[in-house]
Amino acid sequence: MNKVIVDLHIPKDEWLKIYRGQTNLVYAVSRDGRSLQFPANILSRYTTHDGVLGSFEIHFDSSGKFKSITKL
Protein backbone atom coordinates (compact mmCIF):
# COMPACT_ATOMS: atom_id res chain seq x y z
CA MET A 1 0.00 0.00 0.00
CA ASN A 2 1.23 3.50 -0.87
CA LYS A 3 1.01 6.48 1.43
CA VAL A 4 1.60 10.21 1.54
CA ILE A 5 1.86 12.64 4.42
CA VAL A 6 0.23 16.05 4.11
CA ASP A 7 0.20 18.99 6.47
CA LEU A 8 -3.14 20.76 6.27
CA HIS A 9 -4.52 24.03 7.53
CA ILE A 10 -8.01 24.58 6.17
CA PRO A 11 -9.53 27.57 7.97
CA LYS A 12 -13.14 27.52 9.09
CA ASP A 13 -14.37 29.76 6.23
CA GLU A 14 -12.75 27.52 3.61
CA TRP A 15 -14.09 24.37 5.28
CA LEU A 16 -17.60 25.86 5.23
CA LYS A 17 -17.36 26.08 1.42
CA ILE A 18 -16.64 22.36 1.36
CA TYR A 19 -19.40 21.62 3.89
CA ARG A 20 -21.91 23.59 1.81
CA GLY A 21 -20.97 21.63 -1.30
CA GLN A 22 -19.28 24.46 -3.19
CA THR A 23 -16.35 22.12 -3.72
CA ASN A 24 -15.74 18.48 -2.87
CA LEU A 25 -11.99 18.12 -3.41
CA VAL A 26 -8.98 19.13 -1.37
CA TYR A 27 -5.78 20.00 -3.22
CA ALA A 28 -2.54 19.58 -1.28
CA VAL A 29 1.20 19.03 -1.63
CA SER A 30 2.66 16.11 0.28
CA ARG A 31 5.78 16.41 2.39
CA ASP A 32 7.76 14.74 -0.39
CA GLY A 33 6.58 17.33 -2.93
CA ARG A 34 3.84 15.40 -4.75
CA SER A 35 0.68 17.27 -5.68
CA LEU A 36 -2.52 15.44 -4.93
CA GLN A 37 -6.23 15.85 -4.68
CA PHE A 38 -8.62 13.81 -2.62
CA PRO A 39 -12.28 13.86 -1.57
CA ALA A 40 -12.90 16.39 1.18
CA ASN A 41 -15.26 14.05 2.99
CA ILE A 42 -12.34 11.91 4.21
CA LEU A 43 -11.48 14.79 6.56
CA SER A 44 -14.95 15.08 8.13
CA ARG A 45 -14.08 13.35 11.39
CA TYR A 46 -11.11 15.71 11.88
CA THR A 47 -13.17 18.90 11.59
CA THR A 48 -13.15 21.32 14.52
CA HIS A 49 -14.75 24.72 15.05
CA ASP A 50 -11.58 26.23 13.56
CA GLY A 51 -11.59 24.05 10.41
CA VAL A 52 -9.10 21.26 9.73
CA LEU A 53 -5.56 21.47 11.06
CA GLY A 54 -2.88 18.83 11.35
CA SER A 55 -0.66 16.29 9.65
CA PHE A 56 -2.31 13.32 8.00
CA GLU A 57 -1.11 10.07 6.51
CA ILE A 58 -3.25 9.03 3.56
CA HIS A 59 -3.08 5.43 2.37
CA PHE A 60 -4.10 4.32 -1.10
CA ASP A 61 -3.86 1.16 -3.15
CA SER A 62 -1.66 0.54 -6.20
CA SER A 63 -4.32 1.98 -8.51
CA GLY A 64 -4.48 5.21 -6.50
CA LYS A 65 -7.80 4.48 -4.79
CA PHE A 66 -8.21 5.90 -1.29
CA LYS A 67 -8.00 3.33 1.52
CA SER A 68 -7.61 5.17 4.82
CA ILE A 69 -6.47 8.33 6.57
CA THR A 70 -4.80 8.74 9.95
CA LYS A 71 -4.08 11.93 11.84
CA LEU A 72 -0.48 11.99 13.03
Delimit the domains of the chain by residue range: 2-71
CATH number of 2-71: 2.40.50
Q: Evaluate whether 28 touches 42 at the Cβ level (below 8 Å).
A: no
Q: Is the pLDDT of residue 12 over 90?
A: yes
Which amino acid does the sequence have at 5?
I
Q: Evaluate whether 25 touches 40 at the Cβ level (below 8 Å).
A: yes
Residue pLDDT, tens place only, 48-57: 999 999 999 9
**What mean pLDDT is predicted for residues 12-40?**
91
pTM beyond 0.95 = no
Apex CA 56: angle with CA 52 and CA 60, to 5°? 125
